């Protein structure tokens, strides 16, 4: 009798252990998946669910302190920092959130802000990835960027027609301070008549920006076509930008970019850029905020070092440390002649 009781006892303990173990595994898996689905802009994983095509409009009052997301995707988490934090949802480029007045420095020595989304969900985000006290606008025309509100302070960069900017609360005469996508371009521009605040135009521009920043050509074309096929956007004055991008993609698909002369002229320790714009980074990691400068299609770079082989969003290649006109950085080989 004692033996049977003892056996039953051990069986119950074993069964409980299995159940607890399975539960822990599911929790761990869920947590890991959350971390992989969306990170603080550093990760660009995407799904074809179409959720990121939804441009959320702000329902906050003017008295609320709002923040605008400047990165393609920013992870909202339940606590400040990444260590031990649970992913809640994704904030997309151009989305406005409300700052709830709480700021915390996490164990990674970064400052995080507590925010509320338009649907009422609350959580924490890395403060660098959002812009405070600004208003979204689309630019009608190409405009030069200046370091200060002075024509002598041209920095060499320009915003293009259809670019999304955050118009900051700093102005001087007809000068206005603005910041752009991923804060890559920030400074003063002249002629504020070029700012378009129309909600339809802003939504189109945001979706267009998300589309052209897709590394996967098929996803890029799919998202561009969704914009052009949407009857509402036919009324936008910027629909031609999307249509031209689709035509350009079709031309590229048929091989109209001829690099044969470059192929013949560069040496084995050089490479050229084969995509429109490519970020050069301080280290071979596309998941960090580490862009040091940008390269354009056809730029020829000297190779300093060949890095690790990696697959990023179904695109596989080595990383390369390059020198371009005295500037050094790492580029992903898939978007170069070393593809």
Position 13 scores a pLDDT of 59
Distance CA 136, CA 20 (A): 49
Q: How confident is the model over 229-273, as pLDDT tens digits? A: 999 999 898 999 998 888 765 545 444 466 766 777 788 889 999
Q: How confident is the model over 293-312, as pLDDT tens digits? A: 999 988 999 999 999 888 88
| pTM (predicted TM-score) | 0.56
Residues of the chain with confidence (pLDDT) below 70: 1-64, 248-258, 260-261
């Amino acid at each position: 009798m004692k033996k049977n009781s003892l056996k039953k006892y051990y069986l119950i303990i074993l069964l409980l252990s299995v159940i607890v173990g399975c539960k822990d595994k599911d929790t761990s898996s869920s947590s890991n998946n959350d971390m992989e689905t969306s990170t603080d802009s550093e990760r660009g994983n995407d799904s074809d669910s179409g959720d990121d095509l939804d441009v959320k409009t702000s329902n906050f009052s003017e008295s609320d302190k709002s923040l605008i997301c400047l990165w393609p995707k920013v992870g909202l988490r339940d606590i400040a920092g990444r260590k031990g934090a649970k992913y809640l949802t994704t904030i997309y480029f151009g989305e406005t959130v409300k700052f709830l007045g709480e700021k915390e420095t996490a164990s990674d020595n970064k400052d995080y802000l507590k925010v509320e989304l338009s649907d009422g969900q609350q959580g924490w985000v890395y403060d660098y990835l959002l812009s405070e006290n600004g208003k979204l606008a689309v630019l009608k025309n190409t405009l030069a960027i200046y370091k200060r509100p002075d024509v002598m302070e041209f920095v060499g960069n320009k915003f293009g027609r259809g670019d999304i900017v955050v118009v900051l609360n700093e102005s001087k005469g007809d000068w206005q301070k603005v910041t752009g996508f991923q804060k890559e371009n920030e400074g003063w521009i002249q002629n504020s008549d070029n700012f378009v605040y129309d909600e339809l135009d802003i939504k189109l521009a945001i979706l267009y920006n998300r589309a052209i920043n897709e590394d996967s050509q098929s996803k890029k074309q799919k998202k561009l076509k969704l914009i052009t096929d949407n009857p509402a956007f036919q009324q936008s004055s910027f629909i031609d930008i999307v249509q031209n991008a689709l035509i350009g993609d079709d031309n590229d698909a048929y091989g109209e970019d001829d690099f044969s002369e470059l192929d013949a002229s560069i040496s084995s320790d050089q490479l050229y850029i084969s995509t429109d714009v490519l970020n050069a980074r301080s280290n071979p990691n596309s998941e960090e905020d580490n862009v040091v400068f940008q390269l354009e299609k056809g730029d020829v770079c000297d190779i300093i070092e060949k890095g690790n082989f990696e697959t990023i969003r179904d695109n596989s290649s080595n990383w390369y440390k390059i020198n371009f006109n005295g500037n050094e950085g790492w580029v992903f080989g898939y978007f170069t002649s070393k593809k």
